[in-house]
Structures are given as C-alpha cells and as structure tokens.
Structure 1
Amino acid sequence: MKASAAAHPIQGLIKYHGLRDEGLRLPFHDSISVCTAPMHTHTTVEFGHEHDHATIDRVQASERDMERIRDVIDPLREEAGERSGMRMVSLNDFPSNIGLGASASGFAALTVAAAAALGLELSLEELSRYARRGAGSASRAVTGGFSRWYAGTGDRDSISKEVPHPGDMDLAMLVALVPAHKFTELAHKDVLSSPFFKARLEYVPTVLDRMEDAVRRGDVDEMGRLAETDTLLLHGITMTGADEMVLWRPETVKVILEVKAMRQEGVRCYFSIDTGATVYINAHAADVDLIRGRIEGLGIRTMTCSVGGPARVEAQHLF
C-alpha cells in the first residue's frame, strides 16, 4: 500500500480563472496548458497509518494543505474501500509558490501515487478528475504534454485530455524567475468582481480551438501570440477585481518590455504569465541562448524548459 509518482508543473496557455463550483473545483470554461520539464514533483504515499500526515518540501503540511490533500485522497479511498490513514512526502526540484505551477504537479503526483498505492487501475483521464479536486491545473499535469481541461457539466466529465502535437515541435520555454508570493485561490474567488470577467467568458471559447489547432500543427508563433494575449486578459481581470491584485513586480514588467523589444528586432518570442510574477518566454529553440543572455542581463535568473510528459509511477520512494 505504498507507491511513488512524479509529475511536471504546467504553463497555462489558455488559462483558467475562477471556479463555478469551489468544492469540486469546476471551472467556468475549458483551458489548455503545457507541462514544463525537467521541473517535477516527486511524491510518495503510503496507506495503513492511524492518521493522515503529510510533508511538502520537508515542512509539515498546513491545515489548508491537508484539506486540499484530503479532497483528492478521500474519494480515492472511497473508490478502493480503504479507511486507513495516509502518509505523504512530497518534494519539488524547483521553487514553489512563485507562479511555476507547483500545485499542479504536486496534486498530479499525489493522485497517481495514491491510486497506485490503493491498487486502483484508472486511466490518466480518469485520474485527472481526482487531481482536479486538489488544484484545477493538476488535471492537466496528470495527462501531460499539451492538455485541454474540459469544464464539463459536473464532476464526472470535467476531465483533462492530452492534445496531440508533433514530436519535433520547435518550442523552447525560458522561465524568468521573479520571486513573489502568489495568491491563486484568492485570485480565483475575486474574478466575479471584475467588470471584465464577462468579456473573458465570451472571448475564451473563440480561441480554445485556435490554440488546440496551433498545438496540433506545432505552430510555435501562433501559440505564443495567443498565450500572450490571454496573459494580458487574465491579469487585467486580476487587477480590476475587488481586491485589485497586482501580482506583477518591477522585474516582471522589465521582462515583458525586453520581450517586446526583442520581437521588434526580429526575434520571435512571446511572454506568458500565470497567476504570479514569474514570466515564461515561449520561443524557437535556436533563439534561446540569445534570449537568455538578454534576460539575465537584466539581473534575472532563468531556467530553460521543454515539453514534459504525463504523470507517472516511480520506483524510488522518499521514505
């Protein structure tokens, strides 16, 4: 009754923002993301304990963390007919809580490890439904690669499916790390108070199929353009909600302006920002070294990522 799993975090391309059902974490609309390797979360789960206990990056999980962990674990326990307590140990090999999608990889790895420990034989799409209850984006981290999370009509059909893409896609993702605590849950609750949220609900359905088509064709530039526009729309809503959440930092703006300057010079690169201050730069692989030099010249640390696969069972345990 012990198993381990690993999963990659995600970059939102057409991002989700807001929940129509907070308990089941059902979104208002579909969304599309890409997993970012080699960053990953490694998680070990074991059942048979008296109580539930979890540590994340060697720190005991908070009360809120345990609530979200049980949102995933309890339905899996019920499915398996198991009533014992659970021990979980989870480690990230990248900075968490700064907009790199650690909750996505964390709950994806938890779901796959827990299901394996319980002996449940479920497809990745079925597992994405359980992962969604911990963090919406975790549904897409389960299925990996480029994935589309379908809003669905309820719990059963709000799942993620991988979007096929060319194996030789010329996409590189440079991450400009801007450390700043993010408040994703608060941002999701705040969306309805923005005067622009209704416009987003009308806009997103018009671009989801365009993004999926770009992924299937391997069109890096179209993907980059659509993700950049989506970024501006999402943060416009965040900034105009009741809490006026400005999540960007001066370094964030520096990166945005540098990306736009490089594009004017003929370098095909595009910025993308999830709920936080850290910036993804989507570009062609041949331009990565040039872009890295320009961003690090601003005094900002970078990481280079490629497209990561689905969540997977791992042989190595953390305890």
Structure 2
Amino acid sequence: MSKAAVRAHTNIALIKYWGKADEELFLPMNSSLSLTLNGLYTDTFVEISDAFTEDQFRLNGQLQSEKETAKISHFLDLFRKEANRNEFIHVDSVNHVPTAAGLASSASAFAALAGALNMAMGLNMDLQTLSTFARRGSGSATRSLFGGFVEWQKGSSSKDSMAIPVDDADWDIGMVIVAVNKSAKKISSRLGMKQTVETSPFYPAWVESAEKDLVAIKKAIQVQDFEKLGQITEHSAMKMHGSMMGAATPIIYFEPDSIKAIQAVRELREQGILCYVTMDAGPNVKVLCRLSEAEKIKEKLTAYFSTEQLLISGPGKGIRSLTPEEAAEYDWSLT
C-alpha cells in the first residue's frame, strides 16, 4: 500500500489557451501564460493497494458516479503504465474552488492528482516532465504545477508540450476575483473550444495574435511593466471571447453582472487605479491588479457586488505535499 496527499493551486491564464491541435493528447493550438493564485486550491489524497477491487473517486466528500470515475481511471492509467503497476487506486479530492464555474478548478484538481500519483508510485518525475502527464487530464493543469507566472509551451508532441516557470510574480502582483456565478457552466470548455476551432472565422486570427501577445507579455514581465502586462492580459481575454462569439452557434459566457464588473474596472482605471480584467470560459471576472491596491479595489467593487462574491488572491506557489497534520483535517492518514 502506498499513499500521498498533495496541494495544487489554480491558475488564471493571462494569455489564453483556447483550442486543441490534438483532442486525445490535449495539445494546444497556441502557447499560453498564466498566474498561479494562492487563494484557490485543491487538496488530493491517493491510496494504492492490491486489496482494492476497483478504482474509487470522491470529490468534496461525495462518491462520484461510474461515468466520472471512468474519466479519472483513464488518467490513472497513464501513471500505472509509466510505473508498470496495475493496482486499483482510491482518489479523494477536495476543491477549494467552485467546480466547473470558470475558475480553473480542473487545473488545480489534475495538478494535485498528478503530483500525488507521482509521489505514491515513486516515479520521481521532475515537474516539467510531470506537466506533460497533468496536461492529459486538463490542459491548464500543466501550468498549476509551478508558482507565479508560468508558460505552457505548445510544443510539437506529447513529450514537449509542457510548462516552464517564468517569474515568481513577487513584485506586487495580485488579483481580485468577482464570482458572478459559481454554478457549473452550461457549455463546457471542451465543447466550447471544439465549436470555436471548427466554425469561427475569427479563430485563425486569434491563434496568430496569441503567439504575438505571448512574446510581448514575457517582455513586460521581465521588466516588471505592470501597465503593459495588464493591457495585454485584458486584450487577450476579449479577443478569445470574440472568437467564441463568432462560432456558428455563438458561445457567450458573459452574464449581465460580467459586463457590470468590466465597466466597474474601466471606471476604476479612469480614477487612476491600474487594474485590468480577464475572463475564462465562464461568467466570472478576474481583476489583475497590484496586490497593494487589491483591498481598495475590492472595497470599490462592493458598490456592485456582495463581499461574498469578491476574493483577493496573491501569487500562488507550485505543488507541495500536505503535512500529516493538514491531511488529518480531512481524515486522511498518511501513515
């Protein structure tokens, strides 16, 4: 029997990943860059034993359906094959992120699971190699293995489509998350990507522009130019959503409160507070800002949203093992 428990933080893409070049291997059409956040994370415990008679998957304390467990088993098989092992595995995962609400819960979830499997099976993969495995569960999970600003290089194959750390973001970087709607979205990212790639006439321009934005944003990070960083981030998000709206059946994740949040941020900029919006495949708005100004921005946004809808986060770290004391809070025994 072997066990491990790992924490991974979610990440928010500043240069977005949208669209797969390979549906099976989760190879992206373009490279991307994200910021890992300390305020949202997943803790995952895995236990491997030849006494188990089937794989089992619990999420937030609830035993999952056969269909959901089959998806996880497919991911577990990648590690079983690599380790040349065939035991069944029990997975217990707790998301401190609303699931499937456009807040990147799958990124932290599969990064934590990949990290726990790597430890429990004694594979000892380095994080860049491990990112090629995490990618097979969720593309954005590739980036959640590292902290700060992280690039996911699209690569040309499953072996080199991986994440690399760019910068620890320890220069007054923060984010205010506006949770417009924490419910699961009606159109999954996977389906939304497929429809956009296949039917939007704007999509080729999106891919070309994303590659240029990646070069520009890395230069801004290198010289710690926050204003340029924010401008590129906001433009990237709006271009991605524009490409979705151009799909044959338009994909619109915006809700009225999403627009309200975007307008509020623009008003804050007019008042001299540098902050910029980004949105993933969901209605929730993330406000990139200086961490030192996050409380002020949150206070301004309470004119439109309840305090329960607003979360401040600084940069997050890469994956790490849970201590026995932390694991015990979930009734997970590591001994």
Which TM-score band (shorter chain)? over 0.9
- Out of 123, 130, 137, the residue aligned to residue 126 of structure 2 is 123
Residues 78-123 of structure 1: CA distance to partner in whole angstroms, max 9, x if unpaired? 1111101110000012322211110000000000001111111110
Q: Distance in 2 between matches of 1:248 and 1:138?
A: 24
Q: Distance in 1 between matches of 2:223 and 2:169?
A: 7
Determine the structure 2 residue equivalent to 1:188: 193
* Partner AA of 2:270 in structure 1: Q
Aligned length in residues = 318
SS in 2 for 1:243: coil
Determine the structure 1 residue equivalent to 2:173: 171
SS in 2 for 1:307: coil
Q: 1:5 to 1:28 in 2, by over 3 A?
A: same
Bigger drift between 208-217 and 86-95 goes to 208-217
Q: Determine if contact 2:6/2:113 at 8 Å carries over to the other structure.
A: yes
Residues 202-228 of structure 1: CA distance to partner in whole angstroms, max 9, x if unpaired? 111111111122223322222111110
Determine the structure 2 residue equivalent to 1:268: 274
Determine the structure 1 residue equivalent to 2:30: 29
Q: Distance in 1 between matches of 2:157 and 2:169?
A: 32
Q: Determine if contact 1:165/1:216 at 8 Å carries over to the other structure.
A: no
Q: Does 1:12 align with 2:31?
A: no
Q: Distance in 1 between matches of 2:73 and 2:99?
A: 20
SS in 1 for 2:139: coil
Which runs of 4 or more aligned residues in structure 1 lie more than 4 Å from their structure 2 counterparts after TM superposition? none
Q: Does 1:223 align with 2:225?
A: no
Residues 55-76 of structure 1: CA distance to partner in whole angstroms, max 9, x if unpaired? 1112233455334423431111
Q: Does 1:61 align with 2:64?
A: yes
SS in 1 for 2:220: helix
Gap regions ≥5 residues in structure 1 = none
CA RMSD of superposed structures (Å): 1.5
* Partner AA of 1:43 in structure 2: T
Instruction: Among all aligned residue pairs of Structure 1 and Structure 2, give the percentage whose two residues are the same amino acid.
Output: 31
Using structure 2 for the length normalisation, give the TM-score.
0.91
Using structure 1 for the length normalisation, give the TM-score.
0.95
* Partner AA of 1:32 in structure 2: L
Q: Determine if contact 2:107/2:139 at 8 Å carries over to the other structure.
A: yes
Q: 1:21 to 1:64 in 2, by over 3 A?
A: farther
- Out of 316, 319, 322, the residue aligned to residue 311 of structure 1 is 319
Q: 1:71 to 1:149 in 2, by over 3 A?
A: farther
Query: How much does 1:190 deviate?
Result: 1.2
Q: Distance in 1 between matches of 2:259 and 2:178?
A: 11
Where do residues 36-51 of structure 1 align in structure 2 (5 Å cutoff)?
Answer: 36-48=37-49, 49-51=52-54
Q: 1:64 to 1:137 in 2, by over 3 A?
A: farther
* Partner AA of 1:156 in structure 2: K
Q: Distance in 2 between matches of 1:4 and 1:100?
A: 22
Bigger drift between 175-184 and 302-311 goes to 175-184
Determine the structure 2 residue equivalent to 1:111: 114
* Partner AA of 1:33 in structure 2: S
* Partner AA of 1:224 in structure 2: G
Q: 1:288 to 1:231 in 2, by over 3 A?
A: same
Determine the structure 2 residue equivalent to 1:233: 239
Determine the structure 2 residue equivalent to 1:205: 211
Bigger drift between 281-290 and 125-134 goes to 281-290
- Out of 89, 93, 114, the residue aligned to residue 90 of structure 1 is 93
Bigger drift between 288-297 and 192-201 goes to 288-297
Bigger drift between 64-73 and 279-288 goes to 64-73
SS in 2 for 1:173: strand
* Partner AA of 1:6 in structure 2: R
Query: How much does 1:181 deviate?
Result: 2.7
Q: Determine if contact 2:146/2:319 at 8 Å carries over to the other structure.
A: yes
SS in 2 for 1:8: strand
Q: Distance in 2 between matches of 1:7 and 1:213?
A: 27
Determine the structure 2 residue equivalent to 1:249: 255
* Partner AA of 2:262 in structure 1: I
Residues 32-79 of structure 1: CA distance to partner in whole angstroms, max 9, x if unpaired? 001111321000011112211101112233455334423431111111
